[in-house]
Amino acid sequence: MQIIAHRGASGEFPENTLLAFEHALAQSADAIELDVFAVAGELIVIHDHHLARTTNGTGSIYQYSLAQLQQLDAGQGQRIPTLWQVLKLIQGKCWLNIELKGPDTAAPLLALLNKAEQQLGFDCQQLLISSFNHHLLAAIKLKRPDLKLGALTASLPLDYAAFATMLQAYSVHCDVSFINQAMVDDAKARGLKVFVYTVDEPDDIKRLTGYGVDGIFCNFPARSRGVLNKKPAI
């Protein structure tokens, strides 16, 4: 069972910040999940397009320039990171799930990954690109068939994981509130990995272990590892 730090070690540190990602690495998370929006073509790491919940700003990210957004406090003096900063931080240390939130994120992501491959030697096989917006995923697959896609759902579809097969996805990402054994069995029969969000309660972790899921998105990676009694990979 893979432990994916949801927005970093966000149960203990400000979500989607370099601090939360550093602590996810220190807690030996197998992977980190983060959320991105595009502002003037630059990908920034933040979950909501409104600023008030996670920063000392107000209004929408789209009302500000990148420079203005980077003045804000995202908690404990942290700044809203760019995706570029995060790629540099985690490169080679764990795999990364980039969840596309903003509607205009596909083209900037593809451009940034090209730059990361050329300038950092970044291995894009360490990435999993996910979104609730399946149109974005289809657009990415057309341009970069080699990239792994994670098909997100917050429901239990009538035809289970069929949408993920349509997307040629690597994995299906399910809500802990709706996933059941039938969904897992259907996904596995399709050759898909199954990752579940957001899982912090020991009873959920044990239930999902029984279903045979491949990984869980956790706000407290070290604690979840303790429940699983799982040793770090390295």
Residues annotated as catalytic are 6, 47
The β-bridge partners of 216 are: 3, 196
- Angle between helix 106-120 and helix 134-143 axes, rounded to 10 deg: 40
Contacts with ligand G3P, 55-94, as mask; x by CB under 6 A: ----------------------------------------
Are residues 116 and 148 in contact, defined by beta-carbon separation less than 8 angstroms? no
What is the sign of the dihedral through the CA atoms of 20, 70, 43 and 82?
Answer: negative
Judged by CB under 6 A, the residue of 15, 30, 99, 204 near ligand G3P is 99
Q: Does 130 bind ligand G3P (CB under 6 A)?
A: yes
# residues contacting ligand G3P (CB under 6 A): 11
- Residue nearest ligand G3P, CB atom distance: 197
The entry of ligand G3P, Mg ion, none near residue 105 (CB within 5 to 8 angstroms by kind) is: none
Q: Is 55 left (phi over 0), alpha (psi -120 to 50) or beta?
A: beta
Q: Which of 217, 219, 222, 227 is close enough to bind ligand G3P by CB under 6 A?
A: 217
In sequence order, the β-bridge partners of residue 4 are 31, 217
- Which spans of this chain sit near ligand G3P (rule: CB under 6 A)? 6, 33, 35, 47, 99, 130, 152, 173, 197-198, 217
